Structure 1
Amino acid sequence: MPPGSAVPRRRVGLSLVLALLASFLGLGAAATTSHAATDTNPASVLWEAYPDTDAYPHNSTDPVKRVIDIGIRSPSTDAAVKWVRVLLPVGWSKTATRTWPTLWLLHGGGDDHTSYTTNTHIEEMTADKDAMVVMPQTSKCSSYTNWWNYGDESQPPDWEDYVVDEVSQILESQYRANDQRAVLGISMGGGGAMMLAGKHPGHFKAVAELSGAVNMLHYDADELLQGPSVVKWGAAACDVPVDWKRVNGEPGYPFYTTDPTDLRQQRLWKENSAIGNAAGLRGTPLYVYYGNGSDAPRNWTWTGTATTPRMPAARCTSPAAGNDGVAAFVERNIRAQNQDFVAELGSLGIPATVCAAAGQHGWDYWEPEIWTALPMLLSAIGA
């Protein structure tokens, strides 16, 4: 489907087609479903699948499921279907008399709803936790915003609305989730987590971002990589390559003009950023991690049990920017963005747990930080 095209509300036979594809896609046991969109929520559930994973290789056949993939269709997404992977707590069922809090994990650029279960031990880390772990798929370049679309903001995709309103409502109305939510994100998802929490105060009870893209307007004449360049790269590598200006327009000065009065759509870049919504984070427990770009050893291994050590505070030394080849560029830019963000939090008098450490932009550095941030996140939602 070409970018910008409208998505029809209902496509006859799509649930049946998806069900027939289950065996070919390796999604395990599946059940077709038809929870139609409502007047208050344009999204509807098309399909449920029970995928086998490394941690739960028999999930599709076990009588008690640990993993469910929910296929959602919404005109907000500009896609036929988007998936939400959910890790289910002990005792969960659709007919349970109780509800559960939710821990949301937002994926980064180029990733999807399977990224955390593929790249981390999140299934084992949360196996005994009394919470649902929610991993929504957006797009590889979503930025978690409602896109500008050259000034026609009535056109999809509207990722902010989809994640905050539509997916939340579906989970709470059909899957026994409650309104006690915490969120963690990496890279693009880290910026999205802080931005969404700031724009919707109280929606998430705690927030963690790891190497988050929190200030895409950061400019440093001495650096090869500027914030808007990351958006341009991401758009080129999206599910279907798109013009990066569809997201938030152009940032204007000082990036693409020498005229300080030429700001173009810079207002949108600020409104759709974590730093631009920092004031809305007041009163919310916050965890911020970022690296310096150096190829540093982590000296951490998941041992398979809850006794696995958390990362020591001694790692947070705020080292100077590293210069370990091409891989350093992204995290060095992220480091600068996070320094801006932390300074903004400080100017607003908003406390945060901040760790600036040696490291690059990748799962080897993020997984131990996920494990370290989990107690704060789960405590905030009573899990």
Structure 2
Amino acid sequence: MTRRKERTRAGALLVVAALAGTGIAVPGAAARAEPFRPADTGARITAETRLGAGEVDITIDSPSLRRSVKTRILLPKDWQAGATRTWPVLYAYHGGQDDYTSWPRNTDIESWAAGYNAIVVMPEAADGAYTDWFNYGFGGPPKWETFHTQEVVQLIERNYHASGVRAAIGDSAGGQGAISYAARHPGMFRHVASLSGVLWLRAPGMPALIMATNALNGQDPIAIYGFAVLNTANWAAHDPYELAPKLAGTKIFFSSGTTGKPGPGDPEAPPWDIGLIGEQAVGANNVAFRDRLDRLGIPYTADLYGDGRHNWPSWIRVASRIWPDLMASIGARRM
């Protein structure tokens, strides 16, 4: 988090604290009239922390994960706890080696969100690969897909007046998650956007790269999807490339670099920099996904922008540009 954001958030917290108990309404922070309602699985909100006007962290006790994790919510200016109406919602998924604070820590997502009357939800995903883990065929926790697509969605809709009109955006692993979820749950999202996501899990050499990355993240790489050769059906069942026909009817956007060279705003790096090599591999992967959609006749918008590293400068440029289109897709109006 930048020092500017730290000062701004600290100031907002002081304002909320000062107004608490005065009877003066704090936008997006109206008192809750009833207890939190649980999800169908029994997942429940056990804590709510107000970070400022319209910004909330919630703690979710999740049976699907068998632990508690946090989710950040940005509420529109006209949101009220006791409202009878609903608001459209955008889910923003983070990449690997990160957490639910990734988007506000690295971008101006609060400013982007403030311009529209939509709820923005940033759930924890850890290094869970946006799937219910295979666990050598036994299943069980962690079930990240169930957490995101059922528990978080139901808790936000039942307790924060989110409607069933949804969009999703994600960077890196979060981009793959957004596209995969849209394909595995047709109709769940009106619009999905992937920023440098791996969109062909079973591309030549990609399973080995994915498993090596997960191992470096401290995970058991076989537990996530299974063995790449022996458990091909499970890999295919979570692969956006294989699932592409199920994306028909969903508005699709994806982007990535392709050249393995730094782009505007990227740090100087040698050609063997992992961020450059990795983005070039992701770029080839996205090109293959594009060609797959072309063969299927499924419409999409792609920005395969050439130069760019696997990092936030590229993703910020793209995300800030497509934000209005995502908002329009869910009917969010400008505030």
CA contact (8 A) 2:214 2:220 kept: no
**Structure-1 residue corresponding to 2:41:** 41
**Structure-2 residue corresponding to 1:362:** 311
Cα shift at 1:112: 0.9
Give me the whole-angstrom Cα distance separating, in 2, the residues matched to 1:106 and 1:184. 6
Equivalent of residue 274 in structure 1, options 226, 237, 240: 240
**Structure-2 residue corresponding to 1:50:** 50
1:91 aligns with 2:78: yes
1:137 aligns with 2:124: yes
Give me the whole-angstrom Cα distance separating, in 1, the residues matched to 2:264 and 2:176. 25
**Structure-1 residue corresponding to 2:54:** 66
What code does the residue aligned with 2:212 have? K
1:148 aligns with 2:96: no
Partner SS state of residue 188, structure 2: coil
Give me the whole-angstrom Cα distance separating, in 2, the residues matched to 1:235 and 1:98. 45
CA RMSD, 1 decimal = 2.5
Matching of residues 215-364 of structure 1 within 5 Å? 215-219=200-204, 226-237=206-217, 241-252=218-229, 264-292=230-258, 293-298=260-265, 323=271, 325-357=273-305, 358-364=307-313
Cα shift at 1:180: 0.4
CA contact (8 A) 1:294 1:324 kept: no
Partner SS state of residue 291, structure 2: helix
Cα shift at 1:235: 4.0
**Structure-2 residue corresponding to 1:103:** 90
Give me the whole-angstrom Cα distance separating, in 2, the residues matched to 1:124 and 1:112. 20
Q: 1:317-373: per-residue Cα shift (whole Å, max 9, x none)? A: xxxxx9453332211111121112111111111111111111110001100100111
Give me the whole-angstrom Cα distance separating, in 1, the residues matched to 2:178 and 2:186. 12
Give me the whole-angstrom Cα distance separating, in 2, the residues matched to 1:360 and 1:103. 25
Q: 1:277-297: per-residue Cα shift (whole Å, max 9, x none)? A: 211111211111010221122
Cα shift at 1:144: 0.8
CA contact (8 A) 2:263 2:314 kept: no
Aligned length: 302
Q: 1:5-31: per-residue Cα shift (whole Å, max 9, x none)? A: xxxxxxxxxxxxxxxxxxxxx9x9799
CA contact (8 A) 1:215 1:227 kept: no
Q: CA distance change for structure 1 residues 244 and 371 in 2, over 3 Å: closer, same or farther? A: same
**Structure-2 residue corresponding to 1:306:** none
Cα shift at 1:34: 6.5
Q: CA distance change for structure 1 residues 282 and 68 in 2, over 3 Å: closer, same or farther? A: same
Give me the whole-angstrom Cα distance separating, in 2, the residues matched to 1:177 and 1:339. 35
Matching of residues 162-201 of structure 1 within 5 Å? 162-201=147-186
Identity of aligned residues (%): 35
CA contact (8 A) 1:195 1:275 kept: no
Cα shift at 1:228: 3.1
Answer with 227-236 or 144-153: which moved more. 227-236
Gaps of at least 5 residues in structure 1 are 1-25, 52-58, 60-64, 221-225, 253-263, 300-321
Please state which structure has a larger fraction of its residues in helix: 2
Give me the whole-angstrom Cα distance separating, in 2, the residues matched to 1:37 and 1:86. 17
CA contact (8 A) 2:38 2:155 kept: no
Q: CA distance change for structure 1 residues 92 and 287 in 2, over 3 Å: closer, same or farther? A: same
Give me the whole-angstrom Cα distance separating, in 2, the residues matched to 1:266 and 1:215. 13
The 4+ residue runs of structure 1 with deviation greater than 6 A are 28-34
What code does the residue aligned with 1:350 have? I
Matching of residues 69-80 of structure 1 within 5 Å? 69-79=57-67
What's the TM-score once normalised by structure 2's chain length?
0.84
Q: 1:256-282: per-residue Cα shift (whole Å, max 9, x none)? A: xxxxxxxx0111111112112211111
Partner SS state of residue 285, structure 2: helix
CA contact (8 A) 2:41 2:63 kept: no
**Structure-1 residue corresponding to 2:99:** 112
CA contact (8 A) 1:34 1:44 kept: no
What's the TM-score once normalised by structure 1's chain length?
0.74
Cα shift at 1:97: 2.2
Cα shift at 1:101: 0.4
